[in-house]
Amino acid sequence: MKRNIRKLILILFTFVFISGCKQEEKSIAAVSGEYRSGEYTAWSIKMADSEMERRGNSLMYGGSDPDAKWEYTTGLFLKSLLDLWEVTGEVRYLEYVRDVIDSFVEENGQIKTYNLSDYNLDKINTGKVLLKLMRIYDSEKYKRSSEILREQLQKQPRTSEGGFWHKQRYPWQMWLDGIYMGSPFYAEFALIFNEPAAFDDVFNQIKIIDIHTRDPRTGLRYHGWDESNEQSWADPATGCSPHFWGRAMGWYSMALVDVLDFIPVQYANRDQILFILKDLLKAIKKYQDESGLWYQIVDMGGRPGNYLETSCSAMFVYSLAKAVNKGYIEQSYREVAVKGYQGLIENKAAIDENNRIHLNGICSVAGLGGDPYRDGSYEYYISEPVVANDLKGVGPFIMAGLQMDKHKPAVSD
């Protein structure tokens, strides 16, 4: 009964909000003739507006949060705002992105709080925003800063097979997360600046981690792989971490579907990337819960302490919806994405007294190794804090809504 009441309230909110969007449709359409208000995009708009209001200038270096740093969650959120700007034409999203980036990037292209010698793949993720702003504003400043990130990839430590270490302080380790952090930027940079040989390197990053982390029984991928087998979390035979962490596979699925935006159609190994994407999404589909969501440890839904986690669910919905839209997977996967999105709205979205929406149930952080040491055990993954409005959930939620509204049913539908 409670669930039905909650669902009715959310449906009513969506109707009211979409109606409000339609009142502004003329001004929006004047900027972008392609925009039409839709149920999913309405949620993306409301999520972005709510989060921008909550954050203020706290993401800016020297803003209300003096500890603001050049890091991947900021880049993820800003990328979602750029996607939203492209769909709606609302300039406030673009201006917010530029203000945050300009608080870090100096006129000579140097990036405040960034240290190349850390060789941290997480620091590459925001490079996608730099490349976008470079093209929008024809800016030499953003070009120089993106070249600094490209230099990091040139010097990044590698496994014996050529896979990027996740970070300098995590030697010989590849994590699924790192493919999202580095590969889409790398592929886009290669396309823009005509580095065809780089596509082979991008493909090798995907191939190496997929060979080592794919579980043949489930088709799921383990969070990380240690070539040296020195980490206590590494399986003695495979070097893999012991569990299938949802968000790690969420990062990986988004990486695959985004990389394909920049890999030329005629590239020899493009079909292999497509095969890996389809294989992963097939496995993810099998482990979707009846709620439409996915668990923190994906294959252990019934185990005590496990929970339905928001960020991985939003990432999977985004990846599934985009893969359907691009024709990479069968139209039937659209139903999986719809069920997943509805699960997010019904179970994880909340509306406060100020008409702002909140996204609950997000794993704050999870990793391997470090100090204090994270052993990759089941107990570890379920012990990390669960929070609301973490950008690792907010960004994919915004992007997922936009992909859901881009769907054009096939004739056979």
Measure the CA–CA gap between 212 and 219, rounded to whole angstroms.
12
Measure the CA–CA gap between 183 and 105, rounded to whole angstroms.
22
Phi-psi region of 407 (alpha: psi -120 to 50; beta: other; left: phi over 0): beta
Measure the CA–CA gap between 259 and 252, rounded to whole angstroms.
10
Which among 130, 21, 74, 81 is positioned nearest to 402, based on CA atoms?
81
Q: Judge whether 246 and 297 are in contact, CB under 8 Å.
A: yes
> Residue with structure tokens 């089941």?
378
Q: How many CB atoms lie within 10 A of CB 65?
A: 14
Q: Helix crossing, 127-137 with 72-88: angle to 10°?
A: 40
Measure the CA–CA gap between 337 and 72, rounded to whole angstroms.
25
Element (H, E) at 261: none
Pairing state of beta strands 357-359 and 362-363? unpaired
Cβ neighbours of residue 89 closer than 8 Å, sequence gap 6 or more: 28, 29, 30, 31, 32, 35
Cite the active site residues. Answer: 177
